[in-house]
Structure 1
Amino acid sequence: MSPLDAEIRDLMRFAAERSMMPRFRALADDEIEMKGKDDPVTIVDREVEQFLTEALTKLAPDVAVVGEEAVAADATVLEKLSEACWIIDPLDGTANFTEGKEPFGIIIALADAGVAVAGWLYDPHKDRLCHARKGEGAFINGERVRARTTGHTPPVAGISTLFLDEEERVQINERIAPHYTMVDIPRCAAEQYPRLALGENDISVFKRTLAWDHAAGALWLNEAGGKAARYDGSEYRVDERNRTGLIGASSPDQWEAFAARIQGNLS
């Protein structure tokens, strides 16, 4: 593990130990708010983001910081995604956390010119750090990992219909469900991406593709030898703010087969 990876891990671990774990299953009612439908925010989100923003700014003063809660307060922060920036999801899986359930975690990515160049996904329960740098492979706690499929027939697909419109739901039910074993999603990108590389899921589809949820995970999965890409096969970019839709797969072959079905090229 490089010195930077170790430093980022230590920051995430400290934030989890100080702000996150003591409040797990112990949040007061006034420590939870709703930013929108199915979109809670807690005192933990804000504390962790403030701490990481300050720490990363000290680490690299010339690199901007784009945090999920900073964007919620001021949407113009998104403009920084086109430059060198850290991207922070201070509590990925907030809905799970507020319900006293796992999984949840912390995600940090480093991007430049709209492309993620490094990423870290931390699970405080497992003390697991998934980390990657572009072109250098994917790792868990310093050990290189290579994506593997579930080996199941039919393949396993974790797909949520929460953010899909009616037409998209019909498409999933008619074109996809008959050819896959459908399973629940963890509602936590810091867990979903590892599942795609560690033989638990073969496919995931994401309607919302916010940078703090996907920059690190998509990079990590691709570096592991799986595939994360837009429906048309194009690269996921953090600065495509108004674009939706992302397919993650345990292998390029699984990605191609799924994409063909969702595009209607297979019956």
Structure 2
Amino acid sequence: MRETAEQTLLKHYQRLGAQEVSNKAADDVVTIADTESEIMLAEELAKILPEAAIVGEEAAHADPAIFERLSDKLCWIIDPLDGTNNYAAGKPPFGILLALAQGGETVAGWIYDPLSGRLCTAHRGQGAWVNGERVSSGGSGKTPPIAAISLVFADKAKRAALLEHIAPHYTLVDIPRCAAEQYPRIGLGRNDVSLFERTLAWDHAAGVLFLNEAGGKAARPDGSAYRVDRHLEPGLIGAATPRLFDEMAERLTRMPS
């Protein structure tokens, strides 16, 4: 991840030409750095586990049939440049997200910040680590709790309901538009809870595992586990503690649909 970041992301950072950035969808861009990073990561990961499928964000965008590999016995999941909109604008945060899934369940995850060198890692049942030191999630300790609520992919009615019925119970902070930053913010006590509408595997597989292994709770609003092979389903809560998760889940249950 470090080598890839140095040779692709940092090489192009704040040096992108107009022809090196294109629109993948409304409010969603892709850069030459995304493509180069994914190619390099895929090549190196294939050497580590040749038997594992590889699902990269850009490859799946080009060929949605690749999504079917998310339920394979072993599958690498790559977000070669998370926070591309930030990156293309020449500002942080952005990062690389990698996960290894087994039969649709994440068993290992890595979250790398190329600018700071922060590396968050988690293996199922083995805890969460930042730069080799074990971390425990306990929240900010603030009252009301600090929440980052993503409204980007919610429809108009749901946005209005969240702002009316959920927001007043929290101190709201801006979302970083980067899961590689949001999950560490929760696990390291900067934020207490976050809501996500879109839950694509490359954005969430590593972060969900990291937060759960740190002692927080990331799951669907009904409490069911996040699975990468069901990543097109909407709705996910990430919380610094199980209590904060339960409070948010209860409020969402009472929110008018």
CA contact (8 A) 1:104 1:190 kept: yes
2:4: which partner in 1?
15
- Summarize deviations over 1:151-204 as a string: whole Å, max 9, x none: 111000001211111221122112111110011011110100000011110110
CA distance in 1, matches of 2:109, 2:71: 17
Q: 1:249: Cα distance to partner? A: 0.3
Q: 1:205: Cα distance to partner? A: 0.5
2:41 counterpart letter in structure 1: L
2:18: which partner in 1?
29
1:53: which partner in 2?
42
CA distance in 1, matches of 2:231, 2:109: 19
CA contact (8 A) 1:91 1:104 kept: yes
CA contact (8 A) 1:171 1:262 kept: no
CA distance in 1, matches of 2:25, 2:185: 28
1:81 aligns with 2:76: no
Structure 1: 5+ residue stretches without partners: 1-11
2:32: which partner in 1?
43
1:207: which partner in 2?
197
Distance 1:241 1:249, change over 3 A: closer
Using the size of structure 2 for normalisation, the TM-score is 0.97
1:141: which partner in 2?
131
CA distance in 1, matches of 2:123, 2:67: 23
What is the aligned-residue identity percentage?
Answer: 56
User: Residues 77-116 of structure 1 correspond to what in structure 2 (within 5 A)?
Assistant: 77-83=66-72, 84-116=74-106
CA distance in 1, matches of 2:132, 2:163: 40
Structure 2: 5+ residue stretches without partners: none
Instruction: Give the match's secondary structure for 2:108.
Output: strand
Q: 1:241: Cα distance to partner? A: 3.7
1:69: which partner in 2?
58
Instruction: Give the match's secondary structure for 1:25.
Output: coil
Q: 1:39: Cα distance to partner? A: 1.0
Q: After the TM superposition, which parts of structure 1 deviate over 4 Å for at least 4 consecutive aligned residues?
A: none
Aligned length: 255
User: Residues 245-260 of structure 1 correspond to what in structure 2 (within 5 A)?
Assistant: 245-260=235-250
CA distance in 1, matches of 2:232, 2:178: 21
CA distance in 2, matches of 1:210, 1:238: 8
Q: 1:242: Cα distance to partner? A: 2.8
1:129 aligns with 2:122: no
CA contact (8 A) 1:93 1:104 kept: yes
For the aligned residues, what is the CA RMSD?
1.1
1:198: which partner in 2?
188
CA contact (8 A) 2:76 2:100 kept: yes
- Summarize deviations over 1:10-39 as a string: whole Å, max 9, x none: xx1001111111211110000001110011
Using the size of structure 1 for normalisation, the TM-score is 0.94
User: Residues 168-183 of structure 1 correspond to what in structure 2 (within 5 A)?
Assistant: 168-183=158-173
1:212 counterpart letter in structure 2: W
